[in-house]
Amino acid sequence: MQKKRIVITGMGVVSPVGTGVEKFWKSLLAGQSGIRPVTHFDASAFDSRINGDVIDCDPLAHFNSKDARNLSKFIQFGVVAAKEALLQSKLDISQMDPYRAGVVLGSGIGSIYSAEEEYAKYIEKGPSRISPFFITRMIINEAAGQVSINSGAMGPCFAIATACATANNCIGEGMRMIQAGEVDVVIAGGTESATSILGLGGFCALKALSKQHNDEPQRASRPFDLNRDGFVMGEGAGVVILESLEFAKARGAHIFAELAGYGRTADAYHITAPHAEGLGARMAMELALKDAGLKTTDVNYINAHGTSTKLNDQIETLAIKNLFGDHARKIPISSTKSMTGHLLGAAGGVELIACINSIRDNMVHPTINYETPDPACDLDYVPNVARKVNVDVALSNSLGFGGHNATLIVKRFKD
């Protein structure tokens, strides 16, 4: 039986380089960095003192004062991105069977901020001062729950947490739900805000973060560059509206792209490091191509996981070369994280949206801060300047701590 075709009819973004899809995309094409000094707490004692924080998403512009207080940032970001995506799609769930609309919206960490704040209250004033909203601010599933409440979607509603592969897994599993006939529409993506004392401190302790450009934060995230020394933490959300082609056409929806392929694997290797030969990443890409019915030579652009860590960039490059062979050297590859930093559980959502805009505009955004080639990373990373490229098929990789690999493929929609 032929699989249902899945299309994308709406997109929403909250990011360090702009809230809103068009602002986000224009910033990427301009090579604009969203990396800044940490200002929301004293980070002077930390090895890494920079982050990609969101500076243009005022809660009171999107929520009443009560919800602005009681919903944590990662939940707010998810709701804001979902609202933009729904508005863009012109989808009114009240005009359809609400049980045929689902939500799959995950986070890698949830609200670590809330845990810190409430523990500080406990230490200072005792257990009676812990907020009754603490649990609902903190738990990962509440972003999906709030999107359901705000949109009226009453079908399957859940969160996936696979570290940095979260958003890709959420979007891919949403695709599978529609193909299985369970729903017609899924609001899917990832959201994250973990640039807190413990968030930054924990990744510093792992020696995962960049620390050589604290005084020049916009130069810190440099995927595939020889002198990269770690990633930069970011925050935000990326959400898309998935629909079956039949449902989208029946309501006259504008279709931005077709979600054609999804592959997911596990490295079964290490708690943080990718498989030394990139076997899991390679297989995720191979499965996504098979799912899409495409050949390696059909791919025009790869949005890499591209974290700016020594291991990730080298091994992702190896996985691409091993799968794509000679064609690997002909594919433009870029890292959104060079500008946004690493949005953790939200990364795959905003990066898929970058791929969709690449198809729309036939433009590929650059990998900024690429100055010194690394002999182990010897592909075309679109250094520093956006490029005009005919993009019909784009592949997006997300690789998470714990060995989670998830690849999505989008292509130009043709009826």
* pLDDT at residue number 165: 98
Residue percentage of the chain with pLDDT more than 70? 100
pLDDT digits (tens, 9 = 90+) for 131-148: 999 999 999 999 999 999
Chain centre to alpha carbon of residue 274? 18
Q: Residue 48: what pLDDT?
A: 98
Residue range 220-274, pLDDT digits in tens = 999 999 999 999 999 999 999 999 999 999 999 999 999 999 999 999 999 999 9
Taking the C-alpha atoms of residue 412 and residue 256, their distance in angstroms, rounded to an integer, is 8
Mean pLDDT (the chain) is 98
Q: 346 with 53: CB under 8 angstroms?
A: no
What is the DSSP secondary structure assignment for residue 412, as one 8-state letter?
-
Coil/strand/helix, residue 399? strand
| Candidate list 57, 62, 157, 164, residue with the active-site label | 164
Residue of 275, 305, 365, 404 with catalytic role:
305
Name 209's bridge partners.
Answer: 231
Over range 335-363, report the average pLDDT. Answer: 98
Mean pLDDT calculated for residue range 368-386? 98
**62 counts as catalytic:** no
404 carries an active-site annotation = no
* Model pLDDT for residues 24-77, shown as the tens digit of each residue: 999 999 999 999 999 999 999 999 999 999 999 999 999 999 999 999 999 999
Q: What is the average per-residue pLDDT within 107-130?
A: 97
* Under 8 Å between Cβ of 356 and 410: yes
**263-409 is classed CATH 3.40.47.10:** yes
Residues 178-207: tens digit of each pLDDT: 999 999 999 999 999 999 999 999 999 999
pTM (2 d.p.) = 0.98
290-310 burial code (b ≥16 CB/10 A, e <16)? ebbebebebbbbbbbbbbbbe
Instruction: Decide if 164 is catalytic.
Output: yes
Domain with CATH 3.40.47.10 in the chain: 6-250, 263-409
pLDDT at position 351: 98
- Distance CA(91)–CA(356), nearest Å, equals 19
179 backbone dihedrals φ, ψ, rounded to 5°? -65, -30
Q: Which of 62, 213, 275, 342 is catalytic?
A: 342
Average pLDDT over residues 386-415: 98
Helix (H, G, I), strand (E, B) or coil at 261: strand
Query: Which pLDDT belongs to residue 2?
Result: 83
The structural architecture, per CATH, of the domain 6-250 is: 3-Layer(aba) Sandwich (3.40)
